[in-house]
Structure 1
């Protein structure tokens, strides 16, 4: 069960949670544990998301980070608005070959038109694997 803010609009719940985070997040086995504009947590299995030599693929770190940053930004934007990623970067610090990776997303700046988040990926022992920073532009739906 995903922990959500009490005041989250039903439209956002359906768009963000009802879709399982989108097809890619579902395919990669993401599990959302907590979602809000300021703080979000999700995890993914290493199995099925590895590169050819058995390490968790660096792109998988980025997908988890971008998903958390985008969902958190969309929650901040609110109903009738959406978030579009305009910048992302990642630093990989440590590799992992098994278990689960947890992404913890924290807001750095939540403005009217931009939202920036830092997402830290850790292994099951709490060791930092990578750091992703993402900025989203917040737009009105037409």
Structure 2
């Protein structure tokens, strides 16, 4: 297991209260040995002008999952901050809920790299993102 902090999904979701994640209804749904999963609705909060999932909303989901996963890999007073994120938008989504799956590429002492893939309700890949964080 890569996680150094003990937590529950309920505790992770409680951290979202009063944040952008709460406004967008981003939820942590599953946590495994080396994976963190979350979801977000595709609705008026996350649509762009033409009724599709906004690319920026996908990036918010990706960065949320990667940053929290990064934090869970730290200890004590350590935390993480994002250094760089990129996203390739592969398939559009108009409605439903998208699911993000975050896995580590590298979890070093000073930096981390996370791969986040976002899927629609049919399990089709919609976005792939990579987040680099610094451990501070």
TM-score, length of structure 1 as denominator length? 0.84
1:85 aligned to 2:76?
no
Aligned 1:1-142 pairs, distance under 5 A: 9=5, 16-20=12-16, 23-35=19-31, 38-47=34-43, 48-139=45-136
CA distance, structure 2, for counterparts of residue 129 and residue 13 of structure 1: 24
Q: Deviations over 1:44-71 (max 9, x none)?
A: 0001210011000000100000000000
CA distance, structure 2, for counterparts of residue 132 and residue 22 of structure 1: 25
- Summarize the Cα distance change of 1:97–1:68 in structure 2 as closer, same or farther, 3 Å threshold: same
Structure 1 contact 12–75 (Cα < 8 Å) conserved: no
2:92 is paired with a residue of what secondary structure? Answer: coil
Task: State the superposition RMSD in angstroms.
Answer: 2.5
Structure 1 contact 34–40 (Cα < 8 Å) conserved: yes
Q: Deviations over 1:70-98 (max 9, x none)?
A: 00000001221000100110000000001
Q: How many residues align?
A: 134
Structure 2 segments unaligned to the other structure (5+ residues) = none
Q: Deviations over 1:76-133 (max 9, x none)?
A: 0122100010011000000000101000001001111111100000000000000010
CA distance, structure 2, for counterparts of residue 22 and residue 108 of structure 1: 30
Structure 2 contact 5–74 (Cα < 8 Å) conserved: no
1:61 is paired with a residue of what secondary structure? Answer: helix
Structure 1 segments unaligned to the other structure (5+ residues) = none
Structure 2 contact 9–31 (Cα < 8 Å) conserved: no
